[in-house]
Chains A and B, each alone.
Chain A
Amino acid sequence: MVELVLFLPAAALALAGALGVVTARRPVHSALALLAVLVALACLYLLLWAPFVAVLQVIVYAGAIVVLFLFVIMLLHMQPGEPPGEDLRLQRPTAVALGALFLVGLAAVVSGGRSAAPAVRPPAAAPPTPGFGSPEAVGQALFTRFLLPVELAALILLIGMVGAVVLAKGALAVRVPSPAARPTEAAEAEGEARAPEAVAAP
């Protein structure tokens, strides 16, 4: 009963925030609505005995990703609203109708309609053991059974970091000299290469 009392406001906040993300005119409001969704989902994770995931959600999503979104929004100085002039006139009503249809179908399946998959109705959920979802339990599993995925995740993070730096540097990073300009640039490069020796010699 207590769980239901906590579930309903969090679910309502998540739904309202999701609608806000999609319907807000200003991107900043979308980002703040996304923040509300993320915090509400963190509350639901706590209800589901996943404290580690809940903290991770708040730190990584709400703390880092939303801030990154806000930074980019401020960097780009976006105008509110959608740009005028649509290429496809029926795009919006069709998308909304298809989204509603998708929701009805998905909800019918997962809520256990006439032919629910057996996995949707598991045998009575076992009461979780005291350490279920704790950092100890998650860390134990991550560094034993999921060691290879953890290493791959580290590699992905590294690739993402390098990619972001390369993209953000943009024109500065890759400057291919044109054939005409090559001799002078080569001379400059030689000069730069020689300069440190000159400094280091005395």
Chain B
Amino acid sequence: MTVPLAYYLVLGAALFAIGMTGVLVRRNALVVFMAIELMLNSVNLTFVAFARALGTLDGQLAVVFTIVVAGVEVVVGLALIVEIFRARRSVNLDEVHLLRG
């Protein structure tokens, strides 16, 4: 393994921090959702890097399940966003602060 594990971990940390900043800064629900996907992917990278470093397959299996859950999350979340857009003609998260339609 000529690329040190730390490189992958720092890259994952950077992607996670960027995604987290995006969640905090952006107010378009779709972009916030994409930033969440970014964070999920950074954790996936960490899993795969550790699987390689430790020589076991468990990290890669965790990534498989993460991808399944991310797929379901995107489907349900986008359906929710479409519903919110239908109700208020906007996906601005600052306007969605009530737990009723």
A15 / chain B contacts, CB cutoff of 8 Å: 11, 14-15, 18
Interface string of A92-109 (1 = CB under 8 A from B): 100110111011001100
In this complex, what residue of A is CB-closest to B6?
A111
In this complex, what residue of A is CB-closest to B39?
A18
Complex Cα spacing A86 to B95, Å: 10
A87 / chain B contacts, CB cutoff of 8 Å: 94
**Would you call B76 and A167 a contact (CB within 8 A)?**
yes
Smallest beta-carbon distance B15→chain A, Å: 5
Smallest beta-carbon distance B13→chain A, Å: 4
Q: Can you give 18 contacting A-B residue pairs, CB < 8 Å?
A: A4-B3, A15-B18, A24-B31, A34-B38, A44-B11, A50-B52, A69-B78, A78-B91, A82-B28, A83-B90, A110-B6, A120-B9, A122-B54, A125-B55, A138-B60, A138-B61, A168-B79, A170-B83
Which size class do B's interface residues fall under? 35 or more
**Would you call B18 and A107 a contact (CB within 8 A)?**
no
B21 / chain A contacts, CB cutoff of 8 Å: 22, 95-96, 98-100
Smallest beta-carbon distance B86→chain A, Å: 7
Interface string of A12-54 (1 = CB under 8 A from B): 0011001101101001001100100110010011011110110
In this complex, what residue of A is CB-closest to B18?
A18
* From A38, A50, A64, A125, residue with most partner B Cβ within 10 Å: A50
**Would you call A21 and B10 a contact (CB within 8 A)?**
no
Complex Cα spacing A14 to B10, Å: 12
Complex Cα spacing A133 to B12, Å: 20
**Would you call A57 and B15 a contact (CB within 8 A)?**
no
B72 / chain A contacts, CB cutoff of 8 Å: 156-157, 159-160
Complex Cα spacing A96 to B17, Å: 9
**Would you call B6 and A112 a contact (CB within 8 A)?**
yes
Complex Cα spacing A142 to B101, Å: 42
**Would you call B79 and A126 a contact (CB within 8 A)?**
no
| Chain A CB within 8 A of B25 CB | yes
* From A47, A76, A122, residue with most partner B Cβ within 10 Å: A76
In this complex, what residue of A is CB-closest to B45?
A41
